[in-house]
């Protein structure tokens, strides 16, 4: 069975500082990996996804993530955080089921940005 662990429930950073959110997954084959962001009262927005190829993936809003198969990780990074980045971040791994691919989401990491 597939699973996702986001070890950090909360992360606090200062505006302008760099950011790394951790994600570890468990999946028997090549995983399909995603990062989503959720602002308060909103649905989830896709930041980036990894299926294959280059292990460093660029996303929207200046985010990137690196797939490391040996560590079963897919950490999200941003070089300089803006106050508007404060939100909940979800990592997800997708696996095939019945001809479709159903993602399993992590529990999320809440990002707090100090001015």
Partner 1 sequence: KAGVTQTPRYLIKTRGQQVTLSCSPISGHRSVSWYQQTPGQGLQFLFEYFSETQRNKGNFPGRFSGRQFSNSRSEMNVSTLELGDSALYLCASSLEGLLYGYTFGSGTRLTVV
Q: State which of residues 49, 62, 73, 110 lies at the interface with partner 1 (CB under 8 A).
A: 49
Burial track 11-22 (b if 16+ CB lie within 10 A, e otherwise): bebeeeeebebb
N-terminal to C-terminal alpha carbon distance within the chain = 41
Q: Does 100 bind partner 1 (CB under 8 A)?
A: yes
Quote the CA–CA distance of 95 and 12 in Å, as a whole number: 31
Question: Which of these segments, 8-16, 22-30, 42-50, 73-81, binds partner 1 (CB under 8 A)?
Answer: 42-50
Q: Does 34 bind partner 1 (CB under 8 A)?
A: yes
Q: Does 59 bind partner 1 (CB under 8 A)?
A: no
Binding region for partner 1 (CB under 8 A): 32, 34, 36, 41-46, 49, 51, 90, 94, 97-108
């Amino acid at each position: 069975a597939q699973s996702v662990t986001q070890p950090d429930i909360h992360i606090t950073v200062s505006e302008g500082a760099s950011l790394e959110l951790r994600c570890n997954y468990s999946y028997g084959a090549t995983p399909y990996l995603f990062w989503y962001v959720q602002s308060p009262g909103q649905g989830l927005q896709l930041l980036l996804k990894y299926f294959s190829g280059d292990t460093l993936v660029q996303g929207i809003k200046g985010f990137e993530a690196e797939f490391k198969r040996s560590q079963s990780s897919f950490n999200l990074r941003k070089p300089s955080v803006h106050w508007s980045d404060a939100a909940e971040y979800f990592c997800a791994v997708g696996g095939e089921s019945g001809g479709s691919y159903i993602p399993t989401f992590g529990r999320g990491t809440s990002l707090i940005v100090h001015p």
